[in-house]
């Protein structure tokens, strides 16, 4: 059911004249329905982990190992052979670098950091690494506990709160064996800087709940031929509910919420739930695995 068919069906059910066009209609009532259905679709996207909107995002980390000159008390690294690719989303690590030193600006052979060097040196090894990675362009919200470091086979440690993040940046001990992360400024931010070409993964809910005629997706209806990924009856019932509430008409919204519950329950598979007690004899679990190596 495309946008035109959706609005027409809604009009038939609420008892108003159905349009022949929606996206370009000049009728105030149709314009209102157009606005309501776009608002409804976006709100519906947030209400559940819809399988149609569940997307995976992969990140391949980037590192540049190079050389440069540093001076005690100066935030600028000079005489870098090549700074191509380095941006303000990168950090730097070298002997004398302050933890969380981040790139502020980049020149042809120089990089200015957010914090001054604590040592001097000429031609020393400099490790630049990207620590902020942009979220997907269609990102709406994160699916929690899906963030993994596949290269090292362990989950990312987080998300960290602003308080925890500042504690790492300002405290004495900030490094660790696992990558920490937080989501801020439309990026996923990492600490400590990862190695080169590590593969990170996560899942998220896409904001693109509309499918165009050519198969591309987008975050709202713009053409009469666009279709929603959601159940057609749910879209009609939801649009009727919003129309009646906006107009101040009496409306029993139980039909919508009952249908919403059914659609959510049928949107995915479900695990088998056991009412039995936890089995008493477990041959393989974390309780049976010794710390360290297996005995010879």
Q: What is the pLDDT of residues 259-278, one digit of tens each?
A: 999 999 998 887 788 777 66
Strand order through the sheet with 210-211: 217-218, 210-211, 227-228
- Write down which residue in 114, 132, 150 finishes a domain: 132
User: Considering the domain boundaries, does residue 295 fall inside one?
Assistant: no
Shared domain for 249 and 260, answered yes or no, is yes
- Which pLDDT score is estimated for 59? 95
- Which pLDDT score is estimated for 168? 81
Q: How far is CA 152 from CA 200, 244, 273, in A?
A: 9, 54, 32
- Which pLDDT score is estimated for 66? 93
User: Considering the domain boundaries, does residue 286 fall inside one?
Assistant: no
Shared domain for 126 and 144, answered yes or no, is no
DSSP state, residue 78: B
DSSP state, residue 11: H
Shared domain for 234 and 260, answered yes or no, is yes
pLDDT of 161 above 70: yes
User: Considering the domain boundaries, does residue 114 fall inside one?
Assistant: yes
For residue 7, what are the domain limits? 3-53+227-266
Other Cβ atoms within 10 Å of 128 Cβ, number? 26
- Which pLDDT score is estimated for 179? 87
Q: What is the pLDDT of residues 204-231, one digit of tens each?
A: 999 999 999 999 999 999 999 999 999 9
The whole-model pTM stands at 0.82
- Write down which residue in 101, 132, 163 finishes a domain: 132
- Token couple for 106: 């980049």
Shared domain for 178 and 241, answered yes or no, is no
- Cα–Cα distance, 221 to 5 (Å, whole number): 13
- Average pLDDT for residues 75-90, to the nearest whole number? 93
Q: What is the mean pLDDT of the chain?
A: 89
pLDDT of 281 above 60: no
Q: Band of the pLDDT at 172, cuts 50, 70, 90?
A: low
The residue among 181, 103, 92 whose CA lies nearest residue 135 is 181
Q: How many domains does the chain have?
A: 3
The answer to whether 140 and 45 have CB atoms below 8 angstroms apart is: yes
Shared domain for 175 and 162, answered yes or no, is yes
- Write down which residue in 96, 115, 132 finishes a domain: 132
The residue among 193, 171, 191 whose CA lies nearest residue 181 is 191
- Average pLDDT for residues 104-110, to the nearest whole number? 93
User: Considering the domain boundaries, does residue 253 fall inside one?
Assistant: yes
The answer to whether 251 and 240 have CB atoms below 8 angstroms apart is: yes
The answer to whether 102 and 91 have CB atoms below 8 angstroms apart is: yes
Shared domain for 164 and 202, answered yes or no, is yes
Domain of 86: which CATH number? 2.40.30
- Which pLDDT score is estimated for 252? 83
- Which pLDDT score is estimated for 152? 87
Q: What is the pLDDT of residues 35-60, one digit of tens each?
A: 999 999 999 999 999 999 999 999 99
Percentage of the chain exceeding pLDDT 70: 91
User: Considering the domain boundaries, does residue 281 fall inside one?
Assistant: no
- Cα–Cα distance, 254 to 291 (Å, whole number): 55
Shared domain for 123 and 163, answered yes or no, is no
């Amino acid at each position: 059911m495309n946008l035109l068919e959706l609005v027409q069906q809604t009009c038939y059910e609420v008892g108003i004249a159905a349009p022949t066009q929606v996206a370009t209609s000049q009728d105030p009532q149709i314009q209102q329905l157009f606005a309501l259905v776009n608002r409804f679709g976006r709100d519906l996207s947030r209400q559940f982990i819809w399988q149609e909107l569940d997307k995976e995002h992969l990140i391949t980390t980037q590192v540049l190992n190079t050389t440069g000159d540093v001076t005690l008390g100066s935030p600028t690294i000079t005489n870098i052979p090549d700074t191509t690719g380095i941006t303000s989303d990168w950090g730097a690590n070298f002997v004398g670098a302050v933890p969380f030193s981040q790139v502020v600006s980049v020149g042809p052979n120089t990089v200015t950091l957010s914090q001054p060097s604590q040592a001097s040196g000429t031609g020393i090894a400099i490790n630049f690494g990207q620590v902020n990675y942009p979220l997907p362009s269609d990102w709406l919200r994160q699916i929690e506990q899906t963030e993994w470091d596949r290269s090292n086979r362990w989950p990312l440690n987080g998300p960290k709160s602003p308080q925890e993040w500042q504690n790492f940046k300002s405290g004495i001990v900030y490094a660790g064996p696992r990558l920490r992360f937080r989501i801020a400024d439309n990026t996923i931010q990492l600490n400590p800087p990862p190695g080169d070409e590590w593969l990170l993964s996560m899942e998220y809910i896409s904001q693109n709940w509309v499918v165009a005629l050519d198969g591309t997706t987008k975050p709202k209806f713009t053409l009469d031929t666009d279709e929603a990924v959601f159940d057609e009856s749910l879209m009609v019932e939801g649009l009727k509910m919003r129309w009646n509430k906006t107009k101040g008409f009496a409306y029993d919204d139980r039909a919508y919420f009952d249908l919403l519950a059914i659609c959510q329950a049928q949107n995915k598979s479900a695990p088998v739930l056991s009412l039995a007690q936890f089995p008493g004899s477990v041959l393989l679990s974390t309780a049976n695995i010794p710390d360290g190596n297996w005995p010879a």
